[in-house]
Every structure is written in C-alpha cells, then in structure tokens.
Amino acid sequence: MTVTDVSATAPNAQGYRGFKLGGFHFSRDEFFVHLSWPTGKHVISADTFLKALQRDVAWDFFYGTVNFDHVFGTVNHYGTVDMFAGRFNDAYRKAELDHSENFDTLLIRETFKEMLDDWTNASFDPFASPTETGKPFGVKNGSNTAAVTRRRVAANRMVGVPGDEQIRTDATHPINRMFADVPQDDPDIHAEPGFEGEVAAYNLFAYLSRSDVTWNPSVVSVCKASLYCPTTEEYILPVVHGNDRVEWFVQLSDEIVWEVHDRDTGAPRSKVTMKAGDVAAMPGDIRHQGYSSKRSMLLVWENASPGLPELISTGQVSVYPVDF
Ligand code: PHB
Ligand code: FE
C-alpha cells in the first residue's frame, strides 16, 4: 500500500461510499454523517460536516486545530495531522473516552478529498452562503467536483503584480448582491520614472465584493511570514478554529460576532463584537467561531513562521501579542 491509498467501501443504500482511516470509520446517509472510533461513535449533520470538511481540505488543515463540532476534528503538525474525537472536550477527557490518531498529511488529505467529492451532491456548494446554494441532504445525486476542488487564491507577493494576476472581473466574478454599493474604481498609481513595473495597487474592497465563497480566506499579499488573508463572511464560520499562534482580525466592513472559548476545554472565554474598523488579536490558546448576519469583509492576518507553535507550546513566547 502506498501512503495515498484511500480505504473506501462500495456505496450504501443511499448511494454513498464509506471511508476508513486508522480506527476511524465514516459513513453518510440522507441527513447525517456517522463516525465511529475504538472508544465511541458520533453523529454530525451532513451540512455541518461537509462545510467543515471543505475548509479542512482547502486550507490543508490550516493553523492548529480545526474542530468540526464539539467532538470531532483535526490538529495540524505540518507534515502529519492528528484526527481526534473528544480530545478538546472536557467531558470526554474526564471520562477517558477521547481518541486521537496521527496520519501522514498525504493520506488524510486524499481520504478527505475523496469523501468530500463523494458526499457532495450536484445541488450543494459547501463554500457558498446558505442563501446562495441548494441543500446537501438526500440520497446521492450527482457531484459538484468543480466547486469542491476550487483552489483559494494564494499570491506569491501581492494580487495584481506580475505573476499574481488574480484580478476579478464581471465575466469571472460578478459583484455579490450584498456588496452592490462597493465602489469599483481602481487606484491611481504615480510611479517615479523607471519604477513603473515595480509599483502596483488594486482596490481590495472591489476585489472582495466579487468573492463567490464565504469563510475562505485567500492569501492576497505575502511579506516573509506575514500573510494578509482577507475573506467575505456570511452566516456562521463552519469550523471552530483552535489557534496555535496569535491571529489578528481587522474588520473591514459590517459586523462579525465572535464566540471565543478555551482551546483545550471549550469553556467560554469571551464574546467579541467587531464593527467596521475594529482590530482584535485572538490569543494563541483559544478557539473561536464567527457569526455574520450581513455579508462582511474581514482581514485575517497570519504569522506563518514555522517555529511559532513550538515557541508557544513550550512557553518561550506568550499566547498574547502584548502582555499588559
Ligand atoms: C479563523 O479561524 O480565524 C477564520 C477562518 C476562516 C475565516 C475567518 C477566520 O473566514
Ligand atoms: Fe482563527
């Protein structure tokens, strides 16, 4: 067996294949995803599961922890990934029912990609706002491979500079209904003679107004380990993200309410209401989930330094950006 051999069963009565990864088993029916592992089992609504699975795949397991719900999720070790049940749930821990297994990233990535493709019907786009897509439920009905294999934008330097031409137009990305009032004019560039090819600017608000996905940060600028990852948000962030480093949020428009809980136990820590112009630093020891009533624009600012998780977990660096 090679590292990318995915273990799957023939379709069940509803038309969906089953999947196995280590001691974890996954199956879906018309409404639910059923999970089991050596010490327990769990049920998650198909829409919750597919929307979280879509992000975990698209973000290649992201920074730190991706909780699908209060029981199941993944922890990224950047080369390997833990898949867990109950590990960040105080009650499961106390009852010693939590379970975790470590997999080569290649294997879990391939398994998740096949599961996402098999379990997403033609009518459903897991990246879309609930008002802009059909339902995920029912017996197997086609597939939506184009949607679930969308790649998020990842600039090498900055959107709009040579080699990073991801500018959006009416033909490819119409303005979203919620952002009809966003001005679309381009900035004026006045470069010193001789520097015309090295100075670039674009209208980030116009760019974001044309995003066709929700809760999917794209990397629009890269400066060493500093990544600007703006995104458009509507309804609920489909995962509960557990940080392994500090993460900054700049609310670019409208409003998001964040539920912030302790990363390890799930105990509530705070509720943060961010209005346009607000800036917040999310500590390195929390988990959070955002709610956005109206489609809004958020800038997620990530520090991708590979050494950070270890510096934080060994206490050499604080979980706060500033200790007051
Ligand atoms: C986050 O967990 O920090 C996060 C993820 C996706 C978003 C916004 C924030 O769209
Ligand atoms: Fe986060």
Task: State the closest ligand 1 atom to the C-alpha of 216, by its place in the atom list counted from 1.
Answer: 10
Same domain, 118 and 202: no
215 close to ligand 1 (CB < 6 Angstrom): yes
Residue 169 lies in a domain: no
Residue 322: pLDDT over 80: yes
Least confident span in 20-34, 53-67, 155-169, 246-260: 155-169
Is beta strand 240-242 parallel, antiparallel or unpaired with respect to 40-45? unpaired
Same domain, 188 and 110: no
Find the CATH number of the domain harbouring 271: 2.60.120.10
**Residue with CA closest to ligand 1 atom 1:** 241
Residue 266 lies in a domain: yes
Residue 167: pLDDT over 90: no
pLDDT for the residue 2: 61
Ligand 2: centre distance to CA 246 (Å): 9
pTM of the model: 0.96
What range does the domain containing 118 cover? 2-126
Ligand 1: centre distance to CA 231 (Å): 8
* Alpha helix (H) residue ranges in 59-142: 90-94, 105-119
Same domain, 122 and 181: no
**3-class SS of residue 130:** helix
- Residues at Cβ < 5 Å from ligand 2 ion: 241, 247
Same domain, 221 and 300: yes
pLDDT for the residue 197: 83
pLDDT for the residue 82: 98
Residue 1: pLDDT over 80: no
Residue 172: pLDDT over 70: yes
Closest-lying ligand to the alpha carbon of 289?
1
Mean pLDDT of 191-200: 91
pLDDT for the residue 4: 67
Ligand 2: centre distance to CA 199 (Å): 31
Same domain, 186 and 119: no
Least confident span in 8-12, 77-81, 166-170, 267-271: 166-170
Same domain, 110 and 200: no
Give the integer Cα–Cα distance in Å for 163 and 153.
Answer: 13
What is Dmax (Cα atoms) for the chain? 69
217 close to ligand 1 (CB < 6 Angstrom): yes
Q: For 124-138, write each residue's pLDDT tens digit.
A: 999 999 999 999 999
Mean pLDDT of 34-51: 97
How many Cα atoms are found within 13 Å in the side-chain-facing hemisphere of 42? 24
pLDDT for the residue 3: 61
Residue 103 lies in a domain: yes
Q: Show which of 110, 126, 142 is a domain's final residue.
A: 126
Q: For 53-106, write each residue's pLDDT tens digit.
A: 999 999 999 999 999 999 999 999 999 999 999 999 999 999 999 999 999 999
Per the DSSP assignment, residues forming a β-bridge with 255 are: 275
241 close to ligand 1 (CB < 6 Angstrom): yes
pLDDT for the residue 47: 97
232 close to ligand 1 (CB < 6 Angstrom): no
Q: Show which of 91, 126, 161 is a domain's final residue.
A: 126
Residue 265 lies in a domain: yes
Token look-up 């200790």 returns: 323
pLDDT for the residue 155: 93
Residues 101 and 22 sit within 8 Å (Cβ to Cβ): yes
Same domain, 114 and 183: no
Residue 152 lies in a domain: no
Residue 133 lies in a domain: no
Token look-up 């974890």 returns: 24
How many domains are there within the chain?
2
pLDDT for the residue 323: 85
Confidence of residue 165 (pLDDT cuts 50, 70, 90): confident
**Residue with CA closest to ligand 1 atom 2:** 241
Give the integer Cα–Cα distance in Å for 274 and 208.
Answer: 18
Closest-lying ligand to the alpha carbon of 231?
1
pLDDT for the residue 306: 94
Confidence of residue 153 (pLDDT cuts 50, 70, 90): confident
Residue 281 lies in a domain: yes
Give the integer Cα–Cα distance in Å for 206 and 136.
Answer: 30
Ligand 1: centre distance to CA 100 (Å): 24
Same domain, 9 and 102: yes
Same domain, 273 and 210: yes
Give the integer Cα–Cα distance in Å for 219 and 62.
Answer: 13
Same domain, 183 and 122: no
Same domain, 185 and 300: yes
Give the integer Cα–Cα distance in Å for 78 and 247.
Answer: 18
Q: Show which of 90, 111, 126 is a domain's final residue.
A: 126
**Residue with CA closest to ligand 1 atom 6:** 215
231 close to ligand 1 (CB < 6 Angstrom): yes
Least confident span in 38-47, 58-67, 87-96, 144-153: 144-153
86: which DSSP letter? S
Residue 166: pLDDT over 90: no
Residue 304: pLDDT over 70: yes
Give the integer Cα–Cα distance in Å for 292 and 256.
Answer: 5
Residue 271 lies in a domain: yes
Average pLDDT, the chain: 96
Mean pLDDT of 280-308: 97
Same domain, 189 and 69: no
